[in-house]
A and B are shown apart, each in its own frame.
Chain A
Amino acid sequence: MKHIINCLVENQPGVLARIVGLISGRGYNIDTLNVGPTADSTVSKMTIVVPGDAKIIDQVTKQLSKQVDVIEVVELTNRRHLERELILVRVGVADNTQRAEVLDLASSFNATVIDIQKDSISLQMASNQGAVTEFLRLLQPHHIIDLSRSGVIAVGRECV
């Protein structure tokens, strides 16, 4: 099972390397990792998606909390939360039929067209992991020229 872990850290050089090194050094995997500033300029937030059972997630959470630069660790999967992943995808369209199919798919998943070329369409979509995965699965038969995923970002819906 995938777990979303939000980690507030001191906004200092080397912290990202420390966190990533910790997780890989202990033999755990990272599915996606997103880092950005927060409202407080001295604090950064990392959203880490880690696959594993409850025991692994317990260890990852504890090991992260133990780091001197880590202010707070919240495991969001088992709490009420909002999650989004942004994707940018460029799809090749050879003819009008294909173009119509892609546009149709895009509109049913609330993906936005952000660029149109003679032989391709670029789409933007932001949703939860499930919808993103599903959308990409349905796009699969088409020619995906390029794909960028932001990784999951998330916020809790209640006070911790």
Chain B
Amino acid sequence: MKKQAPLKPEIPPQPQPQRSGAQCVIDGLVKAGCEVLFGYPGGTVLDIFNCLYDAPFKFVLTRHEQGAVHMADGYARATGKPGCCLVTSGPGATNTITGLATANMDGIPLVCITGQVALHLIGTDAFQEADIMGITRSVTKHNFLVRDVNELPDILAKAFYIATTGKPGPVLIDIPKNIQRALTSVPTKDPKRVEMRAYRPDVKVAKADIANLADLLNKAERPLLYAGGGIISGTASAVLTELARKANIPVCTTMMALGAFPENDPLSLGMVGMHGTAAANYAIDKSDLLISAGARFDDRVTGKIDEFASKAITVHIDIDPSAIGKNVSTHFGINGYLAPVLKALLPLVKRVKHEAWFQQVQEWKKKFPLGYPQPDGVLMPQTVIKMIDKLSKGQAVITTDVGQNQMWSTQFFTYTKPRNFISSGGLGTMGFGLPACIGAQLGREKELVVCITGDGGIQMNFQELVVAVEHQLPIVVVILNNGFLGMVRQWQELFYSKRYSGVMLSQHGRRPNEEIADKPVYLPDFVKLAEAHGATAYRVTTEKEVEAALHEAFKRKKTTVIECIVSPEANVYPMIPPGTHVSSMIGHTKN
């Protein structure tokens, strides 16, 4: 006889466990793979900080919200993963603007969470209320205001999805305090499984377009690859290198793409643009086919726009359709992800030598190498950077500030790997170098990370040095102290008859209207300041001392600051004055 199955008691549907909005934030970050969160607390994010207490990832308390965003940015640039930061409403949120704009211009994936006053208080000028949605709309890729806790898990997943796909960028989520405290049973969502009706970053490239491009390339006599930051964010560096080598195409890179193509390769022409190499700029001017891959024809690259690459058919490959035809009317645009486009192109391209063209670019390289005058008894800033290159064997991850220190860093260090040069390109943000260095080191713990900065830039976020010391990060901060805001001074020297207005950090030679008590001559004392923050510090004035200090710093693996007293009026050359053609280049012949 068949045994009758025992009757199952009716199980009522189990209610999903309820959790707070604040907990949703932590769970969403974990799901998105967050390893480190940078931030600063405040009244409207207390609930999230309460949940953060038990979070499985690292939290880094910065000393200013701007530092938090730059750190998340440096982390993202160094690792390719989205950076995460968390700040409070009002001033906490407004302090993130420069960081968000920096990331937005350079297409860096970030998710920034801001607290907001409770929904019913929005618009009442409540304490620490700011319309951060309105304020950040133009400096983020997208932003969200959460109005219902049940939408929060979805919004968190969407934020990471939007930040990391298409042309990456920063996404801000504004979460009112009452939403953080409200309960929901909606489960955590996976950012990899997001579907959005209005946002579809997966573009398909027509095979015919690739074939046309291959045809152009196979027919060209003087082809040139012009690689931009998209090569790095689109992980297309390897295939770009393969393509260049297969068809013997010279490669120049923008600043954002330094390291996308190994600079020790004979095909590398280095950086293009205002302070790029003569070879790269001449090659652009003379080429008959210019292929821009993930670059955006920035004005610092093109100079006088209607004479830029005037002999070339220009091709523009970019994931951002609005970049195509924005600054330069290109002959042929391809909207798509770089890696698959270049991969599809590779087999269609013939192995060609382009012998005459190759010889021509080699000749330029030989005739116009990057150089600088080396007077006796003065430490040149370029020498310091060459020494970092030499002692780190070109393997250090370099972060910079903006201006002369940045340009010399592009010129005198040999970049051979992507994600080893980290700098604010589009926005040109002073104060970026140190926090970005901290973020990069946290993302790449085993590697040597060096911040090259100036005496101006370092003072914009010096307070973050404490974070490096607290977390025992072996970063090395190299301050090129020339007593000036160097790049502005250089422009005043060249274009404003040496009228040095508002650029003197040292008191030597100040105009009467800028004079203050005549002693001390230079403030602050960077060595004492660094020591007060708990770091080791050296002041060096000769090449020998630079070498010894760097050697020591690289060996000791502790937070170190090296202040290099360098030539006060050294200039960055070559230089194509703004808005002019390559033929106006100055300082490229023997210095």
Contacts and interface: CB of A to CB of B under 8 A. Distances in A.
A48 B138 CA distance: 20
B55 to A, nearest CB: 28
Contacts of B509: none
Given A14-B133, A21-B137, A68 B321 contact: no
B322 A68 contact: no
A59 B198 contact: no
A55 B328 CA distance: 10
Given A21-B138, A59-B326, A68 B320 contact: no
A66 B198 contact: no
Interface residues on B, range: 20 to 34
A66 B320 contact: yes
B417 interface: no
Contacts, number: 43
Given A17-B137, A18-B137, A25-B138, A68 B326 contact: no
Interface residues of A, number: 21
Contacts of A18: 137
6 contacts: A9-B198, A17-B134, A62-B321, A62-B326, A68-B141, A70-B198
Contacts of B11: none
Contacts of A62: 321-322, 324, 326
B325 interface: yes
Question: What's the dominant secondary structure at chain A's contact region?
Answer: helix
Interface string A47-60: 00000000100110
A9 B198 CA distance: 8
B321 to A, nearest CB: 5
Contact of B197 (A22, A55, A63, A71): A71
Contacts of B147: 13
Contacts of A69: 142, 198
Interface in A11-34: 13-14, 17-18, 21-22, 25
Which 6 A-B residue pairings sit nearest by Cβ, starting from the closest? A62-B322, A68-B142, A71-B198, A68-B199, A25-B138, A63-B322
Contact of B196 (A9, A13, A68): A68
A123 B320 CA distance: 48
A13 B324 CA distance: 30
B321 A55 contact: no
Nearest to B141: A68
Nearest to B200: A71
Contact of A55 (B137, B198, B199, B325): B325
Interface of B: 133-134, 137-138, 141-142, 145, 147, 162, 196-199, 320-322, 324-326, 329
B325 A58 contact: yes
Contacts of B142: 67-69
A14 B145 contact: yes
A68 B143 CA distance: 9
Contact of B322 (A9, A59, A71): A59
A9 B196 CA distance: 12
Question: What's the dominant secondary structure at chain B's contact region?
Answer: loop
A69 B523 CA distance: 50
Contacts of A85: none
Contacts of A13: 145, 147
Contacts of B138: 21-22, 25
Contacts of B322: 59, 62-63, 65-66
Nearest to A63: B322
Q: Which among A10, A14, A66, A67 has the greatest number of chain B C-beta atoms within 10 A?
A: A66
Given A9-B198, A67-B142, 6 more contacts: A17-B134, A25-B138, A59-B326, A67-B198, A68-B142, A69-B142
Nearest to A9: B198
Nearest to A71: B198
Contacts of A55: 325, 329
Contacts of A59: 322, 325-326
B166 to A, nearest CB: 8
A21 to B, nearest CB: 5
Interface in A53-97: 55, 58-59, 62-63, 65-71
B145 A66 contact: no
Contacts of A17: 134, 137
B13 to A, nearest CB: 29
B137 A68 contact: no
A72 to B, nearest CB: 8
Contact of B198 (A22, A63, A68): A68
A138 to B, nearest CB: 41
B133 A10 contact: no
B131 to A, nearest CB: 10
A16 B69 CA distance: 28
A6 to B, nearest CB: 15
B518 to A, nearest CB: 46
Contacts of B137: 17-18, 21
A68 B134 contact: no
Contacts of B321: 62, 65-66
A68 B162 contact: yes
Nearest to B162: A68
Contacts of B198: 9-10, 67-71
B112 to A, nearest CB: 15
A63 B167 CA distance: 13
A18 B324 CA distance: 22
A82 B231 CA distance: 44
A127 to B, nearest CB: 33
Contacts of B133: 14
